[in-house]
Amino acid sequence: METPNLDIGIIMSLLLVIARTRRVRGNLLIIKQDCFAFLAMTKSHIGIWGDCRTCILHLLSCIFKTMADYVERFLNYLSVEKGLSSNTLEAYKRDLRKFEDYIETCGKGITGFTRSDLHSFLTHLRDAGNQTATLARSISALRGLCKFMLLEGIISEDPVENLSTPKGWKRIPKTIGTEEVSTLLQKPEGERFSLRDRAILEIMYSSGLRASEVVNMKIGDINFEAGFITLMGKGSKERVVPANEKALNTVRRYIVELRPALLKKKTSTYLFLAKGGRPMTRQRLWQLIKKYSKNLSAEISPHTLRHCFASHLLEGGADLRALQKMLGHADISTTQIYTKVTPERLKKIHKTYHPRG
């Protein structure tokens, strides 16, 4: 039976599938080996080997730039020039990878998509159940990439220009009351790491720290005499926050009584250590807070303590601008979310102050 000639379009489509399913981003050699191995199997059935080889080399060049060059150069630019955190860079990388995968299925590359493709991608994300915040972050990542490619002369027009970011409802941050916070802070007890865990919980609630700020904190960042902590927050921005005396005393006890035993004969500048003297990880921090939040009214996360810090300060009469500085928010609107009141608080106010409450 005679084998029919294969159309070059079919060949190129199959090669694109090979390149995409390999998922070897940035490794041009392995992708090339797969493509030419496939082409060698079909060589006897087509009479367009030379044309196919030229097209493959062009295709591989585009794939290589899509998978490694443009995005990696953009992320390096954000890290070096903009000082974005590793967590933000990872989020951007995931968002851009999703977009690459999507437009590859449309037969396009990172330099050839249009505004229509972008709208289709956002619809695809929304239909997949992604929240508005995810869509907004994806647009932010793509907007930044397009601006970078314009500066580099890679593209001549910006398909993301004037595209509005979707606005979502600003949810009231989840918090727990002051009594439950006190219960939480007293829970670490009777175990090897209890003193360390209590110091972590105390300092997080005392100063409204992010998880990344806690695990990256150095001993030299705390000024025990002045009662302040120097932090390196988002975007490598430094800020100084106060810490209450009780939290500092617990941290001091941890440094004297437990930390040397964790270090053994090692040295480390990190304040909070895990087994073997290794620095704490964000994952381990999540685990210990989940452990101690059992039997509370709600399961909390590291960020819940930051929300509690902000909400409880405002309830006590703190100034919004001062809170913005302590939280390290670049925009006051981010801090204003804590001025929202919950239905439970409205009921309490009504019951307390209304004549017929």
Q: Which amino acids are annotated catalytic?
A: 210, 234, 303, 306, 329, 338
Instruction: For residue 127, give Cα distances in angstroms to 120, 122, 132, 135, 138.
Output: 10, 9, 11, 11, 15
Residue 127's Cβ-side half-sphere holds a number of Cα atoms within 13 Å equal to: 6
Q: How far apart, in whole angstroms, are the C-alpha atoms of residue 243 and residue 228?
A: 6
Paired tokens of 268: 């480390």
> In the 3-class helix/strand/coil scheme, how is the chain assigned residue by residue?
CCCCCCCHHHHHHHHHHHHHHHCCCCCHHHHHHHHHHHHHHHHHHCCCHHHHHHHHHHHHHHHHHHHHHHHHHHHHHHHHHHCCCHHHHHHHHHHHHHHHHHHHHCCCCCCCCCHHHHHHHHHHHHHCCCCHHHHHHHHHHHHHHHHHHHHCCCCCCCCCCCCCCCCCCCCCCCCCCHHHHHHHHHCCCCCCCHHHHHHHHHHHHHHCCCHHHHHCCEHHHEECCCCEEEEECHHHCEEEEECCHHHHHHHHHHHHHCHHHHHCCCCCCECCECHHHCECCHHHHHHHHHHHCCCCCCCCCHHHHHHHHHHHHHHCCCCHHHHHHHHCCCCHHHHHHHHCCCHHHHHHHHHHHCCCC
Q: For residue 279, list its beta bridge partners.
A: 273
